[in-house]
């Protein structure tokens, strides 16, 4: 049945439900899709194929959201969101199913566990779980003959095995990952944002196989996950530690890294969970990959991630067995981290403090009442903190109002089936807030822009007394009209975050502490707590477009600083100083993710010595308590030639926000931005 007809039938099922809880309705929709969707197996498919209904359940959720979420925003909220001060959203993605259980139990084992753990086997919840799991097994049996007819006999045999059994071979384990990914991500419409710790998951199966077979399967697996074309790439993890602190890097870790380096897949990314004992040769191999253009990897500080989750009240076992659920965000075992809920514009908070709570571009009152009379820098900073706390509370209130309605919006039976805690509670992970940890998030954007602006005001107005605060506010309100010299001095001569300046770095640490106190462990509407993140991905562009000129020399509408790094061009004293600034932040307060982007020119990392330089930057960052770091090694001549002759560079990749993209597929303005960055690194 084609997608249009599937959606029409799904809408009828959704509209017929009047229970006030969508658990049963969504189960019926998913079972219908599994029974009636079209399915095909591309010529290149080794493990699985393509379904025709991947948007249906998402459209049902969006439809419900438009119907039931009309009262989320107050009038002030609407003005503030439009002005780019803050926002809040539901998040049914960024999930980490328990892959260990999926591969150990298979679909039949998950079904048996529902009956074993749920308190009432005749409940709507249990019957809904059984309906979708039975429909999934029937679906595999339905499509196996299609695979056989396409000449894919091993694939077809694997599907028939998985319909009734747990995987027994490495091929079947890999195949089940594709099956489960499709069930949750496409049929259920709950974005699946990690494939788990692949090296640990695959190792027991690989031990039973011929080494060459294992190598071939890993190559096929990485090729095929690259065809899924998931938004922001397909993440997985390598290495990490166990409960005793033992490093878990193994032969499979090395094989996956080696194969990734060879293939350079463009829609794959992974996280290397670094411990003090991660083998140095493994990390050097990773940096050789980065230097050669296969750089879709993030280096995570395993110790700091665990510490951040423990500070949220998670058990040692849950914290150690965390997942990275997306770009940089980490969630403990059986946690719904909901890592993209609320957002807060830090430079806008300072803008509001300077204008009595009013937006400088619209004049609308969207912030807290602050009188604008600041005889000292400390008084101004206190007002800034008042605005930060106010914006954070407003953003979390919006998120709470969304999350109070989850039972009306979206159920997730496949995801739920992987969490024993949900089964024991007898409730859907979203509709019943039944995970072990039902958390929410707030991400603060533009840290360096805000810190540099505060530092500039402190020097210009309160220390050097070159202007009064009112005079400087007038300069900002004019967007630096007739003040190009002053703007240049502030940009090029004033102390900036990213250069290891103790006073500026202390200011950054203080701002993050204010954010942590305002966000971390604040109760949410689901019985969980909020978590602070400091990643901005591409929100820094949208929020920058709505932010007036800032005191750091930034013009109105320009992009805000990205993630936890320095503003572009501000880190004048080199990589080590940059990392000293970033690690002035207490990263254990940023469980939702704190990443620094390190751009290096290819001339700085050539040869063995260049690899040593890269490894040294990572060691410095980890030892000083950094959270996560990724690298762009840029070559100006290559980028310029690729812009003119894209046909010669079909797989040239650059790191954009939290994922990799092909350089030749970027817009002209985005290509120019990377070329400027490479020129800066060359200087």
| Residue among 653, 535, 589, 674 at smallest CA distance from 261 | 653
pTM, rounded to two decimals: 0.94
Reported as a single tens digit per residue, the pLDDT across 181-191 is 999 999 999 99
Task: Decide: residue 668, CB within 10 A, 0-12 exposed, 13-18 middle, 19+ buried.
Answer: exposed
**Tokens representing 590?**
């940023």
Q: Are strands 653-656 and 659-662 parallel, antiparallel or unpaired?
A: antiparallel
Instruction: State the DSSP code for 551.
Output: T
Give the pair of three-digit tokens for residue 361: 């571009």
Q: What are the two backbone dihedrals, phi and then psi, of residue 117, each rounded to the nearest 5 degrees?
A: -100, -30
Q: Which residues is 659 bridged to in the sheet?
A: 656
Judge whether 654 and 293 are in contact, CB under 8 Å: no
The DSSP line for 338-400 is: -TTSEEEEHHHHHHHHHTTTB-TTT--B-S-------SSHHHHHHHHHHHHHHHHHHHHHHHH
Give the tokens for residue 294: 């296969």
Pick from 129, 514, 592: nearest CA to 349: 514
pLDDT at res. 639: 75
From first CA to last CA, the distance across the chain in angstroms is 59
Distance of CA 207 to the CA centre of its chain: 32
User: 594: which 2 tokens?
Assistant: 């704190």
In the structure encoding, which two tokens stand for residue 489, read together?
């001095």
Which residues, at least 6 apart from 525, have a Cβ–Cβ distance to it below 8 Å? 399, 400, 401, 403, 404, 440
Q: Which two tokens stand for residue 85?
A: 């001060």
Q: How far apart are CA 138 and CA 590, in angstroms?
A: 43
The series of mean pLDDT values per 10 residues for the chain, 683 residues long, is 94 94 98 97 95 92 96 96 97 96 98 97 96 98 97 98 98 98 96 96 97 98 89 89 97 98 90 98 96 91 98 98 94 96 98 97 96 94 98 98 98 98 98 98 98 98 97 98 97 96 98 98 98 92 96 97 92 91 97 92 86 94 96 79 76 62 75 68 42
Structure tokens at 251: 């032969």
d(CA 98, CA 420): 9
Residues 6+ apart with CB under 8 A from 535: 327, 328, 329, 443, 563, 564, 592, 593, 594, 595, 658
Q: How confident is the model at residue 653, as a pLDDT?
A: 66
Question: What pLDDT, on the 0 to 100 scale, is given for residue 139?
Answer: 98
d(CA 553, CA 486): 8
Rg (C-alpha) for the chain, rounded Å, is: 26
DSSP assignment of 505-526, as one string? HHHHHHHHHHHHHHHTT-B-TT
What pLDDT sits at residue 202?
Answer: 98
Helix, strand, or coil here: 320?
helix
């Amino acid at each position: 049945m084609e997608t249009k007809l599937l959606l029409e039938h799904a809408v009828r099922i959704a509209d017929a439900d009047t229970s006030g809880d969508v658990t049963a309705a969504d189960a019926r929709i998913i079972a219908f899709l599994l029974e009636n969707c079209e399915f095909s197996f591309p010529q290149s498919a080794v493990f699985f194929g393509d379904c025709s209904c991947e948007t249906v359940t998402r459209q049902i959720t969006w439809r419900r959201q438009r119907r039931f979420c009309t009262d989320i925003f107050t009038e002030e909220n609407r003005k503030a969101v439009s002005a780019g001060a803050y926002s809040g959203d539901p998040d049914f993605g960024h999930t980490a199913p328990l892959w260990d259980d999926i591969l150990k139990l298979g679909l039949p084992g998950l079904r048996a566990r529902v009956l074993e753990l749920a308190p009432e086997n005749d409940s709507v919840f249990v019957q809904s779980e059984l309906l979708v799991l039975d429909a999934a097994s029937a679906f595999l049996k339905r499509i196996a003959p299609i695979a056989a007819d396409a000449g894919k006999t091993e694939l077809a045999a694997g599907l028939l095995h998985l319909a009734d059994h747990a995987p027994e071979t490495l091929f079947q384990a890999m195949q089940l990952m594709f099956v489960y990914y499709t069930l949750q991500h496409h049929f259920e419409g709950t974005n699946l944002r990690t494939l788990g710790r692949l090296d640990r998951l695959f190792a027991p199966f690989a031990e039973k196989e011929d080494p060459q077979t294992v190598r071939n399967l890993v190559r096929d697996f990485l090729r095929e996950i690259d065809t899924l074309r998931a938004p922001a790439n397909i993440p997985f993890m390598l290495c990490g530690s166990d409960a005793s602190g033992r490093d878990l890097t193994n032969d499979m870790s090395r094989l996956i890294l080696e194969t990734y380096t060879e293939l350079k897949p463009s829609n794959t990314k992974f996280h290397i969970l670094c411990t003090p004992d991660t083998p140095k040769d493994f990390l050097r191999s990773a940096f050789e990959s980065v230097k050669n253009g296969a750089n879709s990897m993030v280096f995570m500080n395993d110790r700091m991630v665990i510490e951040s989750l423990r500070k949220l009240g998670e058990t040692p076992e849950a914290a150690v067995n965390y997942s990275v659920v997306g770009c940089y965000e980490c969630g403990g075992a059986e946690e719904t981290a909901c890592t993209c809920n609320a957002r807060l514009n830090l430079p806008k908070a300072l803008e509001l403090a300077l204008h009595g709570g009013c937006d400088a571009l619209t004049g609308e009152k969207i912030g807290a009442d602050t009188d604008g009379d600041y005889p000292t820098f400390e008084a101004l900073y206190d007002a800034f903190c008042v605005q930060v706390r106010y914006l954070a509370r407003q953003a979390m209130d919006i998120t709470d109002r969304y999350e109070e309605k989850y039972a009306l919006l979206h159920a997730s039976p496949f995801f739920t089936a992987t969490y024993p805690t949900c089964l024991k509670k007898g409730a859907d992970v979203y509709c019943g807030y039944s995970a072990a940890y039902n958390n929410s998030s707030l991400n603060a954007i533009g840290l360096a822009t805000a810190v540099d602006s505060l530092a500039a005001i402190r020097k210009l107005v309160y220390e050097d007394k070159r202007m009064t605060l009112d005079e400087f506010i007038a300069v900002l309100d004019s967007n630096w009209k007739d003040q190009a010299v002053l703007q240049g001095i502030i940009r090029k001569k004033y102390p900036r975050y990213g250069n290891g300046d103790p006073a500026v770095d202390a200011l950054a640490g203080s701002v993050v502490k204010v954010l942590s106190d305002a966000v971390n462990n604040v109760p949410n509407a689901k019985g969980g707590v909020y978590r602070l993140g400091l990643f901005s991905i591409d929100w820094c562009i949208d929020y920058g477009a709505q932010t007036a000129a800032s005191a750091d020399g930034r013009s109105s509408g320009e992009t805000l600083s990205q993630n936890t790094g320095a503003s572009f061009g501000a880190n004048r004293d080199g990589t080590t100083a940059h990392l000293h600034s970033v690690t002035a932040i207490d990263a254990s307060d940023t469980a939702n993710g704190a990443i620094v982007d390190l751009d290096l020119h290819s001339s700085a990392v050539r040869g063995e010595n260049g690899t040593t330089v890269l490894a040294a930057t990572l060691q410095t960052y980890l030892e000083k308590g950094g959270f996560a770091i990724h690298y762009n090694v840029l070559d100006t001549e290559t980028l310029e030639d690729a812009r003119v002759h894209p046909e010669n560079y079909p797989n040239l990749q650059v790191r954009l926000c939290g994922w990799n993209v092909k350089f030749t597929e970027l817009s002209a303005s985005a290509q120019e931005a990377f070329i400027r960055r490479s020129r800066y690194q060359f200087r």
